[in-house]
Structure 1
C-alpha cells in the first residue's frame, strides 16, 4: 500500500487515494524490474470521509500501473473522478455503482510509441499530472516522456474527446537522437517551438490552470533522480515554466511565445521547478462542498 495523492467528495462522504511506489525503488530512479518485483502501485483505496475508514481497494491491474494524481469532478453532487496512471499512460475513471461500491474503467489511453535509439523499443507517454477545469468541461494532462500536453472535453465523462494538443518538449523532439516510428516504418519527431530563443528542455510535467480556464502553466521537473536519468540536460541547465493559451469555447491549445520563466537563471540555480499554486485557490485545490 503505497500512499501518494488523494481527493475527496464530501457529499459522498468518500476519499480516494492512489499509490506511487516504494521509496526504496523510486528514489533511485526508474527500474522496470522494480515493477515486476511489485514495488510500484496499481491500486486505489476508498475511505469514508472524514473518519478515514478503509472501505474498499480497487485493483487497476495491468492497465493502471503507477496511479498518481487523483481528481473528482468539481461538481459536489458528482460521484465520478479520474486517476492518471503513469506507466501504462491511461486515464482511469472511477465511479460509484448502484449498490454504493466503487468501480473503474479506462477512459483515455495513450499508446506507447515505437522508438529507435532509446532504452526500450517502446516509449510510454508517462502521464505525470492532470487537472480538471473548474466548470468540469475539460481535462488536461501531460505526457512527460512523449512531450505533449493534451486537452479533452469531458462533458460526457465516460467518453472524453481530444480537442487540443501541443508539443512542449519530450524525448522525441527534433534534434533528439531518439526517433519515433509509424506503423508503416517511417520515422518522425515532434516539432517543438523555441520560446524567446530557448530550446525547451525536458518534458511537460506539472500543470496548473487559471480559474477562468484560459491559461495553462507547465513546469518540467518530475523528481530529481528521474530527471537525471531521462533528461540529464534538465539537471545541468535547470527547469523552465511555460504558459499555454487555451481555447475554452471549442477546445485548442497554443504555446504563448511571450512567456518563459528560466529557473536555470536562479541565483542559487540551476533549479528544478515542480508544483505551481495560485494564491487563494486553484483548479487542483478548490472543491465545492
Structure 2
C-alpha cells in the first residue's frame, strides 16, 4: 500500500521521472538524431467541452502529433466521452507516474480517473469521484499538480458557502480522485489563519520550497453572468509548513490567473498574467524567501494563458480578446521584448513542445464564456492551432498555409451525434516525462 498522507517534507522533494514506455504502443519519439535527448510528442490528450444544445457530455480527445504518421497527424484519432453532461472540463493533469489522467469538472466538482497504463491511446475510465465537495467543503477544482506519494495538489476556486469563497488547496488520491486532506487551511478558518482568500493556478518550485497561487476570483463572480474578476492578490506559500507567508496585492480586480516559475533549477524568477491586461514578474533576488512583484507588461488583450520556453529564453502569451499569440524575448526578465506574433481566433491555452519548437494553441474557455453575447460572436473556429517557433531569432508561423486550425474541432463525433467541441487544455503523451508540480 502506498502512503497517502504525504509528509510536508516529501512535498518539497524534487522528483525526476524515469521514462516508462508501454510495450507496443508508440509514444514520444526516442530518436536522438534530430532532437538530441529531448523526446518528441507523438500524440496529444486534450479535454473539450460540448458545445451546442448541451445534450452531450464533455470529452477527452486524442490527436495525432507525429508527422511520420500522416494518416493521424493533426487528426482526432480517439474520443472518450465522459459519463455526465455539464461538467465543464477545464484544467486537469497526470498522476506523477503518468499512468492515469485526472480530469475534474469545474462546474460539477466531479473527478474522472482514466487509466492509460496498458494502452495510452485507449484511456479507460476507471473511477468517477463525487465526494470532493462534501468531503473538502471546497468547490470548482481547477489546477491539478501531481506530487510524490500517490497524491495530486488541486486548487479549488471557492467554497460551499453563500459567497462561494474562500478558495483553497486540497490533496487528492491520484488513483481514485478522492479527497485526502486540506493543504493549508480549509474553508472554515480561525481568525488567525492566513489566507488564501482567492485561488486559481498553482506554481510549484521544489528547490525553493515555494508555491505561488493566483486569484482570478470566487466562482460566483467569474463562472456565471455578470462576470468580473474579484481577486486582487496572490499568495506565496512555504511548502513544508503548508502556510501562506505572503499575501501580495496586485491591484483592484487584477485577476491574476496563469503562473509559472522559470525552469532553471537555481532560478528565483517567475511570471503571472491577469485578466486586467497586465503581466507581472516575481523575483527573490536577495534570497530572503519573499517575492517582489513588478508589472512588466500592460495593455494585454485579456491574456488567457502564458508559458515559458524550456531554456527560459521566451515568454508566450495568448491574448483571448486580441486574437493573437505573442512571443517575448526575456533575457532581461524585467523588460520582455516582443519578437513574434501570430493570429489565432480567441486563443486560450497553450502547450509548448519539449524542444521549444512547436506551440499548440486551443481556443475554448468555458461554456458560459464561449459565444456569450456580452463578448460578441466568438469561437466559430474551434480547434488546435499549431505554430512553428523560430527559437533562434524569434518568430511564430502557422503550419497551415491559411492560418486555419491544424486539428479541426468543428465536427467531432460525440456521444449523441456530430458537432463542434471546445478544446481547452492539452497534455502530451506519457512518453514525454513530467516532474512533480507539472501543470
Q: How does 1:18-33 map to 2 (within 5 A)?
A: 18-31=214-227
Instruction: Give the distance between the partners of 2:226 and 2:381, measured in 1 at CA.
Output: 20
Q: Which has the higher contact order (CA 8 A, sep 6+)?
A: 2
Match of 2:256 in 1: 67
Shift in Å, 1:286: 7.3
Q: 3-state SS of the aligned residue for 2:423? A: coil
Q: 3-state SS of the aligned residue for 2:341? A: strand
Q: Check the 8 A contact 2:235/2:244 in 1, yes or no.
A: yes
Given candidates 212, 232, 243, the residue that maps to 2:355 is: 212
Match of 2:199 in 1: 3
Instruction: Give the distance between the partners of 1:252 and 1:283, measured in 2 at CA.
Output: 27
Query: Residue 163 and residue 90 in structure 1: after superposition, are their counterparts in 2 closer, same or farther (change >3 A)?
Result: same
Given candidates 411, 432, 435, the residue that maps to 1:265 is: 411
Structure 2 gap ranges (5+): 1-196
1:81 is the counterpart of 2:303: no
Calculate the TM-score normalised by the size of structure 2.
0.50
Structure 1 gap ranges (5+): 112-124, 170-202
Q: Check the 8 A contact 1:205/1:220 in 2, yes or no.
A: yes
Instruction: Give the distance between the partners of 2:320 and 2:436, measured in 1 at CA.
Output: 25
Shift in Å, 1:281: 7.6
Instruction: Give the distance between the partners of 2:378 and 2:396, measured in 1 at CA.
Output: 26
Instruction: Give the distance between the partners of 2:309 and 2:285, measured in 1 at CA.
Output: 24
Calculate the TM-score normalised by the size of structure 1.
0.74
Q: Check the 8 A contact 1:150/1:166 in 2, yes or no.
A: yes
Q: Select the structure of larger CA radius of gyration.
A: 2
Q: 3-state SS of the aligned residue for 1:164? A: strand
Q: How does 1:227-238 map to 2 (within 5 A)?
A: 227-229=370-372, 230=375, 232=377, 234=379
Match of 2:428 in 1: 278
Query: Residue 243 and residue 60 in structure 1: after superposition, are their counterparts in 2 closer, same or farther (change >3 A)?
Result: same
Q: Check the 8 A contact 1:30/1:226 in 2, yes or no.
A: no
Aligned residue pair count = 232
Shift in Å, 1:280: 3.4
Shift in Å, 1:41: 0.8
Match of 2:133 in 1: none
Query: Residue 287 and residue 251 in structure 1: after superposition, are their counterparts in 2 closer, same or farther (change >3 A)?
Result: farther
Given candidates 127, 145, 159, the residue that maps to 2:335 is: 159
1:43 is the counterpart of 2:233: yes
Query: Residue 282 and residue 224 in structure 1: after superposition, are their counterparts in 2 closer, same or farther (change >3 A)?
Result: farther
Query: Residue 128 and residue 67 in structure 1: after superposition, are their counterparts in 2 closer, same or farther (change >3 A)?
Result: same
Structure 1 ranges of 4+ moved more than 6 A: 281-288
Match of 1:242 in 2: 385
Q: 3-state SS of the aligned residue for 2:207? A: helix
Q: Check the 8 A contact 2:305/2:317 in 1, yes or no.
A: yes
Q: Check the 8 A contact 1:137/1:155 in 2, yes or no.
A: yes
Q: Check the 8 A contact 1:206/1:274 in 2, yes or no.
A: yes
Q: 3-state SS of the aligned residue for 2:386? A: strand
Q: 3-state SS of the aligned residue for 2:321? A: coil
Shift in Å, 1:22: 1.2
Match of 1:117 in 2: none
Instruction: Give the distance between the partners of 2:363 and 2:433, measured in 1 at CA.
Output: 19
Shift in Å, 1:148: 0.9
Q: CA RMSD, aligned part only?
A: 2.3
Q: 3-state SS of the aligned residue for 1:45? A: strand
Query: Residue 283 and residue 74 in structure 1: after superposition, are their counterparts in 2 closer, same or farther (change >3 A)?
Result: farther
Q: 3-state SS of the aligned residue for 1:24? A: helix
Q: Check the 8 A contact 1:16/1:47 in 2, yes or no.
A: yes
Query: Residue 11 and residue 20 in structure 1: after superposition, are their counterparts in 2 closer, same or farther (change >3 A)?
Result: same
Instruction: Give the distance between the partners of 1:155 and 1:277, measured in 2 at CA.
Output: 27
More helix as a share of residues:
1
Instruction: Give the distance between the partners of 1:277 and 1:138, measured in 2 at CA.
Output: 20
1:53-108 per-residue CA deviation (whole Å, 9 max, x = no partner) reads 1111110014x71100010000111111000112x211101111534321101112
Shift in Å, 1:287: 6.9
Query: Residue 207 and residue 285 in structure 1: after superposition, are their counterparts in 2 closer, same or farther (change >3 A)?
Result: farther
Instruction: Give the distance between the partners of 1:282 and 1:141, measured in 2 at CA.
Output: 23
